Structure 1
Amino acid sequence: MKTSKMQPQIDFNTEGLDSEVLLELYKSMLKPRLIEEKMLVLLRQGKISKWFSGIGQEAIAVGVTSALNLDEYILPMHRNLGVFTTRKIPLYRLFAQWQGKASGFTKGRDRSFHFGTQQYHIVGMISHLGPQLGVADGIALASKLRQEKKVTAVFTGEGGTSEGDFHEALNVASVWQLPILFCIENNGYGLSTPTSEQYHCKDLADRGLGYGIESHIVEGNNVLEVYTKVTEIVKSIRENPRPVLIEFKTFRMRGHEEASGTKYVPQELMDAWAKKDPIENYQNFLKEEGIIDEPLEVEIKTKIVHEINEHLEVAFNEEAVHSSLTDELDDVFKNFDYQEFKSKSNKKEIRLIDAISEGLYQSMDRHEELVIMGQDIAEYGGVFKITEGFVEKFGKNRVRNTPICESAIVEAAMGLSIAGMKSVMEMQFADFVASGFNPIVNYLAKSHYRWGQAADVVIRMPCGGGVGAGPFHSQTNEAWFTKTPGLKVIYPAFPYDAKGLLNTAINDPNPVLFFEHKGLYRSIRQDVPTDYYTLPFGKASFITSGNEITIISYGAGVHWAIETLDKHPDISADVIDLRSLQPLDTDTIFTSVKKTGRAIILQEDSLFGGIASDISALIMEHCFEFLDAPVRRVASLETPIPFAKTLEEQYLPKERFESELIALLAY
Structure 2
Amino acid sequence: MNYQNRGVSEEMQLQLYRNMLKPRMIEEKMLILLRQGKISKWFSGIGQEAISVGVTAALDAEEYVLPMHRNLGVFTSRNIPLHRLFSQWQGKANGFTNGRDRSFHFGTQEYKIVGMISHLGPQLGVATGIALANVLRGEKKVTAVFTGEGGTSEGDFHEALNIASVWQLPVLFCIENNGYGLSTPTNQQYHCQHLVDKGVGYGMESHMVDGNNILEVYTLLKRLTESVRKKPRPILLEFKTFRMRGHEEASGTKYVPQELMDKWTQKDPIANYEAFLLEQDVLTTAKIEALKDEITTEIDADLKLSFEEPAVELNESKELEEVYKSFNYEEVKPSIETKNIRLVDAISEGLRLAMEKYDELVIMGQDVADYGGVFKITDGFMEAFGPERIRNTPICESAVVAAAMGLSINGMKAVVEMQFADFVSSGFNPVVNYLAKSHYRWGEHADVVIRMPCGGDVGAGPFHSQTNEAWFTKTPGLKVVYPAFPYDAKGLLATAIEDPNPVLFFEHKALYRSVYQDVPTDYYTLPFGRAALLREGNDITIVSYGAGVHWALDTLKAHSEIKTDLIDLRTLQPLDIETVYTSVRKTGKLIILQEDSLFGGIASDISALVMENCFEHLDAPVKRVASLETPIPFAKKLEDNYLPKRRFEGALLDLLAY
Do they superpose with TM above 0.5?
A: yes
The equivalent of 1:578 in structure 2 is 569
Aligned position for 1:6 = none
CA distance in 1, matches of 2:449, 2:283: 55
Residue of structure 2 in register with 1:464 after alignment: 455
Whether the 8 Å contact between 1:447 and 1:455 is mirrored in structure 2 is: yes
CA–CA distance in structure 2, aligned partners of residues 150 and 345 of structure 1 = 46
Partner of 1:227: 218
Shift in Å, 1:208? 0.4
Taking the TM superposition and a 5 Å limit, the aligned residue runs for 1:177-576 are 177-576=168-567
**Which amino acid in the other structure matches residue 422 of structure 1?**
K
Given candidates 105, 108, 122, the residue that maps to 1:131 is 122
Q: Deviation string for 1:606-639 (max 9, x for gaps)? A: 0000000000000001100000000000000000
User: Using the alignment, how far apart are the partners of 1:174 and 1:322 within structure 2?
Assistant: 46
* Distance (whole Å) between structure 2 residues aligned to residue 589 and residue 57 of structure 1: 58
| 122, 125, 145: which one aligns with 1:154 | 145
Distance between the aligned counterparts of 1:354 and 1:597, measured in 2? 39
SS at match of 2:604: helix
Q: Deviations over 1:24-80 (max 9, x none)?
A: 000000000000000000000111010000000000000000000000000000000
Distance in 1 (CA, whole Å) between partners of 2:595 and 2:51 is: 53
Counterpart secondary structure, 1:489? strand
Cα drift, residue 23 of structure 1: 0.4
Q: Are the counterparts in 1 of residues 6 and 219 from structure 2 also a CA contact under 8 Å?
A: no
The residue number in structure 2 matching 1:627 is 618
Counterpart residue identity of residue 590, structure 1: Y
| Deviation at residue 360 of structure 1 after TM alignment | 0.3
Q: Deviations over 1:68-100 (max 9, x none)?
A: 000000000000000000000000000000000
Q: Look up the equivalent residue of 2:653 and give its one-letter code.
A: I
Partner of 1:612: 603
Deviation at 1:345, TM superposition (A): 3.9
- For residues 590-609 of structure 1, the aligned pairs below 5 Å read 590-609=581-600
Q: Deviations over 1:349-384 (max 9, x none)?
A: 000000000000000000011000000000100000
Q: 1:115 aligns with which of 106, 120, 124?
A: 106
Q: Which runs of 5+ in 1 are unaligned?
A: 1-9
Deviation at 1:323, TM superposition (A): 3.0
Letter in 2 for 1:478: E
Q: TM-score, normalised by structure 2?
A: 1.00
Deviations 1:81-136 (A, max 9, x none): 00000000000000000000000000000000000000000000000000000000
Paired with 1:471 and 1:310, the residues of 2 have a C-alpha distance of 61
Find runs of 4+ consecutive structure 1 residues off by over 2 angstroms: none
CA deviation string 1:547-588 (max 9, x = no partner): 010000000000000000111100010000000000000111
Residue aligning to 1:3: none
Distance, in Å, in 1 between the alignment partners of 2:217 and 2:8 is 13
- What code does the residue aligned with 2:248 have? E
Q: Which deviates the most, 402-411 or 323-332?
A: 323-332
Correspondence for 1:650 = 641
The equivalent residue for 1:95 is: 86
Q: Give the letter aligned to residue 61 of structure 2.
A: L
CA apart distance, 1:344: 1.7
Q: Secondary structure at the match of 1:33?
A: helix
Work out the CA distance in 2 between the residues paired with 1:559 and 1:35: 63
Alignment partners' CA distance in 1, 2:627 and 2:324: 32
Does the CA-based 8 Å contact 2:374-2:419 persist in structure 1?
yes
Give the TM-score of the pair, scaled to structure 1.
Answer: 0.98
Q: Aligned to 2:59, which of 48, 68, 85?
A: 68
> Contact 1:214 / 1:243 at 8 angstroms: preserved in 2?
yes
Check conservation: 1:345, 1:531, Cα contact below 8 A: no
Q: Which residue number in structure 2 is paired with residue 4 of structure 1?
A: none
Q: Could you tell me how far 1:293 is from its partner in structure 2?
A: 1.3
Question: Would you say the 8 A contact 1:469–1:643 is kept in 2?
Answer: yes
- Which runs of no fewer than 5 residues in structure 2 stay unpaired? none
Separation (CA, whole Å) in 2 of partners of 1:636 and 1:89: 54
Match of 1:172 among 153, 163, 181: 163
SS at match of 1:400: strand
Which one-letter code corresponds to 1:520 in the other structure?
L
Residues 378-427 of structure 1 deviation map (CA, whole Å, 9 limit, x = unaligned) = 01000000000000100000000000000000000000000010000000
Counterpart residue identity of residue 525, structure 2: T
The whole-number CA distance in structure 2 between the counterparts of 1:648 and 1:587 is 34
Conservation of the 8 A alpha-carbon contact between 2:590 and 2:622: yes
Give the residue type in structure 2 aligned to 1:433.
Answer: V
CA distance in 2, matches of 1:147, 1:348: 39
Hey, what does 2:18 align to over in structure 1?
27
- Check whether the contact 1:355–1:496 (CA below 8 A) recurs between aligned residues: yes
Q: How far apart, CA to CA, are the structure 1 residues paired with 2:609 and 2:539?
A: 20
Letter in 2 for 1:303: E
RMSD between superposed Cα atoms in Å: 0.4
